[in-house]
Amino acid sequence: MNKTFKALSLIACTTLAVSAQADEWRYAMEEGLTDPQGMYAQKFKEEIEKNSDHTIKIYPVGALGESADAMEQAQAGLLQFIDQSPGFTGAMIPEAEAFLVPYVQPTDPKVVREFFKNGKAINEMFHGIYREQGLELLSVFPEGEQVVTTKQEFRTPADLEGIKIRTMTSPLLLETYKSFGASPVALAWGELIGALKTNMVDGQENPAIWIEAYGLDDLAPVLTYTGHAQYTTAVMANADFFDGLSDADKKLIRNAADAAHDYIMDEVVKMDEAGLKKIKETNPNVKIVRLSDAERAVFKERAKAVEEIFIEKAGERGKQIIEQMKQDIEAAREAVGG
């Protein structure tokens, strides 16, 4: 048990001793307050505190240790809420890595919004799966389309041969870039900039907001829109905590999550557009590449192998989720006329 875990245990015990019903709820996330997860968290906090006597204490990235530490604390009930991406929860919830399978999620903003808001896979099927891990799923939202930054232009898998692309430490992401023809390298986020500067890696993937914020376009100035994925994250509550609430407080939390979801879906689009605009304005060396439908089709065909790997890992339930996600995307396209 780490020091952070022990400290929170003492805090929780002290709080319970003072009051039979604690009204300060703790919320941890993987990003800072001005990042998408932070903006969602602050909107959620605003809605909770505006409509009740409860308060929310937000713990930004690093405040409670690494992602695994925060999840341990959430499952133990020391945190009431947690925001964590499938790239980190995949080891615990293999089905969540469906969001990492390339060329499953949509890219059109209107379709993306409808898919995440009303899709059956997200809003029905995943709830029971997260429940098995002691978590109540409140919201799943994208943080922007993944953009590949490299030092040289590529348009085919052959162009990526020998190119070292940094990924998160998810085996499925490693398989994705292998299928694309690249040589993936799993690195922690904190090692990325140094790795790009020393040519340990030649590129990476992230939404435009992160590329601009951390100057990744200066280190790998070719930004390629392959259309293969959205960076996705999920907000959860500890299930025992949630089940112990009154019906009024459960409704309060769900309403706050819905309001925060609608808010962040608008803000992410604005942030993504602003990030790309600033890159264009401030970096004269940047080159923006958008693969054609025909070029994407080649990568999409290769990505079928990654989907098969996901199904092998996640089993029949994972297969059903992928199939439902595809149906949800078609339904979303019809709903928005896209």
pLDDT tens column, 221-254: 999 999 999 999 999 999 999 999 999 999 999 9
Average pLDDT of the chain, as a whole number: 92
pLDDT at 261: 98
Asked whether residue 17 carries a pLDDT value surpassing 60, the answer given is no
- CB 136, CB 236: distance < 8 Å: yes
Q: What percent of the chain has pLDDT over 70?
A: 93
According to the model, what pLDDT value does residue 18 have? 35
Query: Which one, of 336, 225, 209, 194, lies nearest residue 287 by Cα?
Result: 225
- Is pLDDT at 190 greater than 90 in this prediction? no
Report percent pLDDT > 90 for the chain: 86
57-89 residue pLDDT tens: 999 988 888 888 899 999 999 999 999 998 778
Q: What is the pLDDT of residue 19?
A: 35
- The pLDDT score that the predictor gives to residue 21 is 64
| Amino acid identity for residue 302 in this structure | R
Strand partners, 164: 183
pLDDT, one tens digit per residue, over 147-186 is: 999 999 999 999 999 999 999 888 899 999 999 999 999 9
Maximum separation of any 2 CA atoms in the chain, in Å: 64
| Residues whose CB falls within 8 Å of the CB of residue 171, separated by 6 or more in sequence, listed in order | none
pTM of the predicted protein model: 0.89
- For residues 16 and 297, which has the higher predicted lDDT (pLDDT)? 297
d(C-alpha 41, C-alpha 83), whole Å: 9
pLDDT at residue 96 tops 70: yes
Closest CA to 72 of 54, 88, 96: 88
- 3-class DSSP state of 85: coil
pLDDT tens sequence across 102-130:
999 999 999 999 999 999 999 999 999 99
Which pLDDT score is estimated for 338?
62
